[in-house]
Amino acid sequence: MESIGALEEIILMILLKYEECHGVQIAQHHETIFSKSISLPAIHVVLKRMEKKGWVDSRFGEPTAKRGGRRKRLYKATPAGYHAIERLQEAKSKLWASIVQQNFRYGAN
């Protein structure tokens, strides 16, 4: 299986949740979820890479005035993208579940 980068994973999940998005929407969702800003070209690079791997698909959307009359490119996760992330998430949650929940908040240990 091809390895998934951390940002790839997050963007793929965003695409799975919100179906079709373009770059700015992804950045907005990212900010609301993580309350942390993210650079757009970083998102673009990840999208292109995932498109090459076949995890996402894209098509041109309609132009808007805010974009200076430029079309947006709308991205969508593919079944292959879903399967790529599915196994990873299963493994992660299994691992998380196996961890004894500890309270680190009060400086234990």
Partner 1 sequence: MGLTRPPKWADWLIEKICPDEYLEEVQGDLHEAFYWREETRGLPYARRKFYLEALKTFRLFRFRKPDFMKNPFFYLLKNYFKTGFRFIWKTRTYSFINMSGLAIGIATAAMAYLFLADQFSFDRFHDKSDRLYRIGAQLEFRGETEKMGGASYIMGKTLPEEVPGIEMATHVKNGIALRLIDQDYNYLVFHYADPEMFQMLDFNFISGTPGAFQDPENIVVSKTFAKTLPASNELRLLFGEEEKVFSVAGVYEDFPMTSTFRPAVIIPFNFWVSRVAARRTETWFDINMNVFVLRREGATLEDVEAGMNEVLAANLDSDMASANPQLFLQPFSNMHTDRLEMGNGLRATANLQVLWVVLIVGLLCLLISCFNYSNFALGNFLSRSREVAVRKVIGANRNSIFQQFLSESFLGTLIAGILAFLLIQGLLPVFSQFVGVEYGFRDLLSWRFGVGLALVLLISTVLSGLYPSLVLSTKKANIALKERLKVGGKSFFSWFLVMMQVSITIFLIIGMLTTNQQLDHLLNFDLGYEDENVLALSIRDTSEQRLDQMHRELERLAFVQSVSSNSGYNGTDYKDGEIDFSTSHLRTDENFIDLLKIDMVEGRNFDLEIQADQGGAVLVNETFVKRAQLDNPVGEVIPFQYGNLENPRIIGVVKDFHYAALQTEVKPLVIYTAPEYMMQTLLIKLNPQSSQQEIGQIEALWRQIYPTRPINYTYLEESNAADMQTETQIQRLARSGSLIAILLASLGLFGMVGTHVRQRLKEVSIRKVNGATPMDIYLLFSSKFGKWLVSGFIIGTIPAIYFLNNWLNNYPERIQLSWGIPTLSVLICAVVFLTIITLLLVRVMNLNPATHLKDE
- The residues binding partner 1 (CB under 8 A) are 22-24, 27-28, 37, 39-42, 44-45, 48-49, 52, 63-68, 70-73
| Closer by beta carbon to partner 1, 35 or else 103 | 35
Torsion sign, CA atoms 10, 14, 15, 21 = negative
CB 85 within 8 A of CB 35: no
Q: How far apart are CA 42 and CA 68, in angstroms?
A: 22
The CA distance from 55 to 49, in Å, is: 9
> Cβ 5 to partner 1, closest distance in Å?
14
Of 44 and 92, the one with the shorter C-beta distance to partner 1 is 44
Q: Give min distance, CB of 45 to partner 1, in A.
A: 5
Residue number, 76 or 88, with CB nearest to partner 1: 76
